[in-house]
Amino acid sequence: MDKKPSHARTVIAYIVLILLTFLCLFFFYILIVNATRSHPQIQKGFSFIPGHSFMKNLKSVLNDANIPVISGIKNSLIVSSLSAILATYFSALTAYGLYAYDFKLKKPAFVFIMLILVMPTQVSAMGFINLITKMGMLNTLYPLFLPSIAAPAVFYFMYSYMQSSLPLELVEAARIDGSSEFHTFNRVVIPIMKPALAVQAIFAFVSSWNNYFIPALVISDNSKKTLPILIAALRSADFLKFDMGKVYMLITIAIVPIIIVYIALSKYIVAGVALGGVKE
């Protein structure tokens, strides 16, 4: 009597998962298909069948003097990689400081960081622009990745992960053995935090890679622009010169690094969920 409902629930769960997988992958498939079609073909409407203009669209994007794709990819890789490294390492270091130490301002410091978390980026945008202008960093890549050192959302994830997966006894044992605090953090804490670091590295990389608002305010030179700005510039081109095939090709090029990073680090997501659920 109990097996039939259980079997039915399993079938329903698989159907739902298959449907969700289809919905997630369907738009990627259409994007790739449209990247292989010409502008007139795309204007005719939707198609499941790939076209024959992949190389034409690719050459058109790469040879466009107004859209420096190669430098855009390089700039996006530099900014996103450094943002992911800075956000994960320093957020984990901050979380470790609040988790492993007891001091009077511990709770106020935690509340202050959480208040920064709920503050929209747009609120502080003008002050940020004025600051980097005075510092001589306007129209450079530095303002795009240096603020990642202070990432409240990543900090909160790291702090929660430490609460569930980092026994303080390990830290105390390292201190008794004469290990310095930075040595303990780098050699004891970081290996335990690898799944959390990998998960947040993916999110930080993708967030920085897709960021348009701040780069659009900071960067003016074509050679320093990131891919989201180049895609927006291509989409806002003159209607008579507008080529949907080029737009879809550039978007396809833009998502390839994200997919590579996700595939390289995705195995840690399951490990992070499994390890994060185990308490001492």
Helix runs in 135-243, H state only: 142-145, 152-165, 168-176, 181-184, 190-192, 194-209, 213-218, 227-235
162 and 239 co-located in one domain: yes
Structural domain total, the chain: 2
253 compared with 120, residue with greater pLDDT: 253
45 and 158 co-located in one domain: no
132 and 79 co-located in one domain: yes
34 and 157 co-located in one domain: no
Helix (H) or strand (E) holding 77: helix 69-100
Task: Please give the residue range of the domain that contains residue 23.
Answer: 3-53
104 and 49 co-located in one domain: no
Domain boundary residue among 12, 30, 53? 53
Using 50, 70 and 90 to split pLDDT, how confident is the model at 64?
A: confident
Is residue 3 predicted with pLDDT exceeding 70?
no
What are the φ/ψ torsions at residue 10 (nearest 5 degrees)? -65, -45
130 and 181 co-located in one domain: yes
Span 158-178, pLDDT tens digits? 999 898 888 888 888 988 888
- Residues 254, 171 contacting (CB under 8 angstroms): no
Record the pTM: 0.84
Which residue, chain included where needed, has tokens 């390890």? 275
42 and 65 co-located in one domain: no
State the Cα–Cα distance between residues 245 and 276, nearest whole angstrom: 44
Span 206-227, pLDDT tens digits? 999 999 989 999 998 988 999 9
Using 50, 70 and 90 to split pLDDT, how confident is the model at 240?
A: low
189 and 143 co-located in one domain: yes
